[in-house]
Structure 1
Amino acid sequence: MPRLHRALVLIGLLLLSHNACAQKLRLVADGWPPFTDSTLVNGGLATDIVSTALARAGYATEFEQVPWARAILGIGEGRYDVLISAWHSEERTRIGQFSAEYLLNRIRFIKRKDASVEFDNLQQLRAYPVAVVRGYAYSREFDEDPQIEKVPVRDFAMAARMLTAERVKLAVEDEYVARYYLARESPKVRNAVEFLPKPLSENSLHILVSLKNPEHEQIVAGFDREIAAMKADGSYARILEMHGM
């Protein structure tokens, strides 16, 4: 009997091990510091939150960083299981299932501290050249307004320097992203600019789980459950704090 018991235990452990391997989820994102970046601690803020929540829900994960277009294509084809950072869109519901919101992106304008610039409506922006990161979307109304002079730049770091040099009147960026880049700029740049109070838009951040994964509903349910639990037990706040947020 003891030998039989040991054999049954061994079989059970082997089955559990096999099941755990089968449940390993392939996470994907593009480089978007401080949210997702393989050079940052635990892959960045969003990667850390998502992998922690999924681990608590019983899923092992591995993270790959690829260009955005490849990430979306991979979710649609089932080569990846979870897109870490996605804004909701109807088009994307055809390739994946969205979780509930787990972070909020606030898109804000940044100006020079000594500039008399205000933002209450889009019409006011038509008087100012605005630095925008090439290829990014901010809000449909802003993006599609032909009367707003948008100056395309490589990244927000360039936008901040142009703002300091008075080559543009405004820059626009997600607040977390802007704070991340400004913290790495010289005091001359960092101390010369400030956020305008009113955000351009607020976009909820979700994971997008590939519909090709047969357990996409369970994955989303487990993720949402653990995000709520992390907020309740303080571990969510500790991750934000660890990443300087």
Structure 2
Amino acid sequence: MKSLILLLLLASSACLAARQVVLTATEFPPYTTTAQPQDGVMVALARAAFAQRGLDLRVEFRPWARALAGAQEGRFAGVLALWYSAERAERLFYSLPLFSTTVGFYARCDKQFDVSSLPGLQHYRIGTVRGYKNPDTFEQAGLRGIDADDDLINLKKLAANRLELALMDREVGRYLQEQQLDKTTPRLCWQEPAVEVMPLYIGFSKRHPDGGMLQTEFNLGMTMLRQSGEYQRILRRFRAVL
């Protein structure tokens, strides 16, 4: 009898574990960040979509290079909040987009730049982030990207005149400037026009045994989330940081 009870408990534990999805992400506020409720709007949307399918989401935060490698190598079921690239698609199943982000340039407010023609920016020092997918139009223009570990470092370098421009998501730049830069730092301004509108996705690992199944489950859950109106309700709850 005791053996039977033990077997039932083990089976129950295995079933519960099988219903948990473990993804990785990096600090990319306000989209994915431990500094915001529910770890940011992207995590909130993903968690709600998985919940539609009876799945529980757990997110482990890592530096971006480790997060991406962990998903590509199958140590995690997937990586949350990334832009599409054909190279990454060789190792990741892409989900339906969670929503689109606006990518472009920040500069010091006391300087003026014409960013309407990308080839005209070839002689400027432009901050980029190591391992991020830059817009195709940026790459095709042959611009001089100087890699840093994250967007916050690029904003600090921009403020210190070590860069002329910094390439990043508009809302990430706004959030970091308001929340993490010292108030005495020179003001940094978004430059119009944007370079590109780029959707954010979950990349599910092709090397993880559940990668393909979880892609399907997530896509079904996201469709249900949009149809029910919960998708827009979640976005409204986060409107103050988006």
In structure 2, the residue matched to 1:211 is 206
Q: Does 1:99 align with 2:104?
A: no
TM-aligned CA distance change 1:62 to 1:137, over 3 Å: closer
In structure 2, the residue matched to 1:61 is 57
What residue identity is the alignment partner of 1:84?
Answer: L
Deviations 1:149-168 (A, max 9, x none): 44554543343344445443
Which ranges in structure 1 are unaligned for 5 or more consecutive residues?
1-10
What residue identity is the alignment partner of 1:19?
Answer: C
TM-aligned CA distance change 1:72 to 1:188, over 3 Å: closer
Deviation at 1:128, TM superposition (A): 3.3
In structure 1, the residue matched to 2:121 is 125
> Which deviates the most, 46-55 or 209-218?
209-218
TM-score by length of 2: 0.77
Residue from 167, 171, 185 that aligns with 1:172? 167
> Which deviates the most, 54-63 or 91-100?
91-100
Deviations 1:194-223 (A, max 9, x none): 212222223221112223455544432332
Residue from 194, 199, 205 that aligns with 2:194? 199
In structure 2, the residue matched to 1:7 is none
In structure 1, the residue matched to 2:74 is 78
The percent of aligned pairs where both chains have the same amino acid is: 25
Alignment partners' CA distance in 1, 2:76 and 2:140: 32
Alignment partners' CA distance in 1, 2:210 and 2:222: 18
Deviations 1:155-191 (A, max 9, x none): 433433444454433222111211210112345547x
Q: Secondary structure at the match of 1:183?
A: helix
Residue from 220, 224, 229 that aligns with 2:219? 224
> Which deviates the most, 35-44 or 58-67?
35-44
What residue identity is the alignment partner of 2:119?
Answer: Q
TM-aligned CA distance change 1:155 to 1:73, over 3 Å: closer
TM-aligned CA distance change 1:218 to 1:158, over 3 Å: closer
What residue identity is the alignment partner of 1:25?
Answer: V
TM-aligned CA distance change 1:166 to 1:208, over 3 Å: closer
In structure 2, the residue matched to 1:159 is 154
Which ranges in structure 2 are unaligned for 5 or more consecutive residues?
1-7
Structure 1 contact 119–125 (Cα < 8 Å) conserved = yes
Aligned residues: 232
State which structure, 1 or 2, has the greater radius of gyration over its C-alpha atoms.
1
Structure 2 contact 84–200 (Cα < 8 Å) conserved = yes
Deviations 1:22-69 (A, max 9, x none): 222111123322222334322222222112211121112222122334
TM-score by length of 1: 0.76
Alignment partners' CA distance in 1, 2:75 and 2:123: 46
> Which deviates the most, 24-33 or 172-181?
24-33
Deviation at 1:109, TM superposition (A): 0.9
TM-aligned CA distance change 1:182 to 1:234, over 3 Å: farther
Alignment partners' CA distance in 1, 2:164 and 2:231: 36
Q: Let me know the Cα RMSD of the aligned residues.
A: 3.2
In structure 2, the residue matched to 1:8 is none
Q: Does 1:47 align with 2:47?
A: no
Structure 1 contact 20–59 (Cα < 8 Å) conserved = no
Structure 2 contact 204–211 (Cα < 8 Å) conserved = yes
Deviation at 1:136, TM superposition (A): 3.9
Structure 2 contact 71–79 (Cα < 8 Å) conserved = yes
